[in-house]
Amino acid sequence: MGEKLDAVDYFHPSRMADRILGMGDIVSLVERAQEQYDEEEARRLQKKIAKNQFDFNDFLAQIHQIKKMGNIKELASMIPGVGKAIKDIDIDDNAFKGIEAIIYSMTPEERVNPAILNGSRRQRIAKGSGTSIQEVNRLIKQFDDTRKVMRMVTQNGGAGMRNAMKNMRRRK
């Protein structure tokens, strides 16, 4: 996969051929996800989502899980059709740094209860993370939207997801 020891992987000719042809490699992507998957953590997270208690600490833990899986561009290229689309796009390995900086600039209470993030707190977080207030607001908005969608999916299964997607399209 690469030149460093952590990039050494088993060689599967059919998977390599699929990657070269731009057909992705879902099997390898799933294997990587399973290596990082903690079943107990997943159950705990699912309960928190169902109770609408998903917070920035959980969000940060999910970012760390994704980062453990490897390079973002490499992971995305394993999805069929995405490899060719992102071939010329440079995806920074530090793509999550800004998000992490914003979350780490929050107090423990703010991470657990994002509803208390008023204007002055957001300004302090922006200064502490070296970002703008707009970036902090954007992250909080995306977090709230993600939380709503996750809750709908866990409550109603597929029907909840369809309704969430319809609502998101209407807002645009």
Structure tokens at 23: 């057909």
Tell me what pLDDT residue 45 has.
72
- Give the chain's mean pLDDT: 75
Look at the block and give the residue holding tokens 């709230």: 144
Q: In this structure, are residues 171 and 164 in contact, taking their beta carbons and an 8 Å threshold?
A: no
Distance of CA 62 to the CA centre of its chain: 6
At a CB cut-off of 8 Å and minimum separation 6, what does 137 contact?
Answer: 122
The angle formed by the CA atoms of residues 160, 161 and 167, to the nearest 5 degrees, is 90
pLDDT value of position 61: 85
| Res. 71: pLDDT tops 80 | no
pTM of the model: 0.61
User: Which amino acid, 164?
Assistant: A
Query: Mean pLDDT highest for which of 18-22, 24-28, 54-58?
Result: 54-58
Query: What DSSP designation does 93 have?
Result: T
Q: Scanning the structure block, which residue is given the tokens 């208690």?
A: 53
For the chain, what are the domain ranges? 11-95
Task: Name the residue with higher pLDDT: 50 or 76.
Answer: 50
pLDDT of the residue at 102: 95
Give the separation between CA 35 and CA 156, rounded to whole angstroms: 29
Q: What pLDDT digit, counting tens, does each position of 105-129 carry?
A: 999 999 999 999 999 999 999 999 9
Query: Two tokens at 159?
Result: 């029907």
> At 82, phi and psi to the nearest 5?
-85, -30
Residue 94 is which amino acid? N
- What tens digit of pLDDT does each residue of 136-165 get? 999 999 998 888 887 777 766 555 445 555
- Gap between the Cα atoms of 64 and 117, Å rounded: 23
Percent of the chain with pLDDT over 90: 26
Q: How many helices (H) and strands (E) does the chain have?
A: 11, 0
